[in-house]
Structure 1
Amino acid sequence: MKLVVVSAGLSVPSSTRLLADRLATAVDQRTPSLDIEVVELRDLAVEIAQNFTSGFPGRELAAALDAVSAADGLIVVTPVFTASYSGLFKSFFDVLDKEALAGKPVLIAATGGTGRHSLVLEHALRPLFAYLRAVIVPTAVYAASEDWGAQGLSERIERAAGELSALMTGLSGARPGLPRQERAESVEVAEFTVVPFEDQLAALRSAG
């Protein structure tokens, strides 16, 4: 199973990449046999721009686009620029095939200097990936400068990672808050039989 992490951070080190790594680690703890690949958009900026003018991706960009298309799940993280996702982040998904994310689980996340921009997840990122017909996990993660080391960020990361892992593995009934080992040791679910409503109604009438 393959997880691709798309990070649009520009600086080195980058808080965007740090958040991406923490999310990927949390998903890895919950997902068996997971192969993780990180796509740093900073390294692809020139090829992305050239793709717009030539219509053809360079070698590294083509490899990144193929990785995203073949992934079982995605983590996408962007810094906030002017109250929205970065131009580099949007440009990458503009050159991606429009069918590449259809039905694919995606965890959206963003970083910014202030908590006032946290709604970027709902007014910018979620509509973008809904348009691309991705399956977006319910919990989105935003990390402002003051969130690092503060209470709450770790819990959001764990919850979002559990939701993405459950979608990737198809375990709709999984308990997303539990790491892989604890989930394996959880109580076995008892078998049950589904009785059609008509049969239940007939049984009640005969009993009456």
Structure 2
Amino acid sequence: MSTTSPPRRTGGWEATTLRLLTYPANIVLGGLVAFVLAVPLVTLLPVAVALARALSVWHVQGDDAVVTSLLRELRATWRRTWRAGLVVGVAVALLVIDVLFLLSRFATSGAGLAALLVGAAVPVACALLLMLLLVPVSSSRDREGDLRSWAGHAATLVVGSPGRALLVLVLAAAVVGICVVLPTIGPFVLLSLPLDLAVRTWPAREEEPGDLVGDTE
């Protein structure tokens, strides 16, 4: 006599638990892979663009293979982003070196001037951080565009929703600050968490899921 096993129940606490664990797993794993790829700094912008697009695919389409999507999107967008990535990488490196040098001068007689220059660097750092958030978000909303169109779209997002842009900037700066205080968590959330906040703030259009398929060049 053959027996048939009862159908497996879907849902319940097991499914809920798995869904809850998916978010931190994707943030941590995607963030770690992105951090490793962005270590040379000149790859920071291309990796940020790829990660934002991968996160958007996850939230809109439900494809939770964020690491796989990240690598696919990096390959798809590399030609459109690598030149700007060189400029952004150099700018980030110079900014970090300048700030570290100025902070080292606080214990000298030129502390007043150093504090003034550090204060002047803050708006530059904020603008750079906002660009590293909104250009990738724009690429997830206009997947066929180029860097120029993404930059224009990013400016539109700031002008159209300055409150949301300020909130995302403050939250991202808070994440960066926490990672500076607790550097051991930096590789896991420094890139993925701020970008996830930005992608959720300006989600891609769900009515056009075809636009979310990783394109190739």
TM-score by length of 1: 0.29
Going by fraction, where is helix more abundant, 1 or 2?
2
Structure with the larger RCO, 1 or 2 (CA within 8 Å, 6+ apart)? 2
Going by fraction, where is strand more abundant, 1 or 2?
1
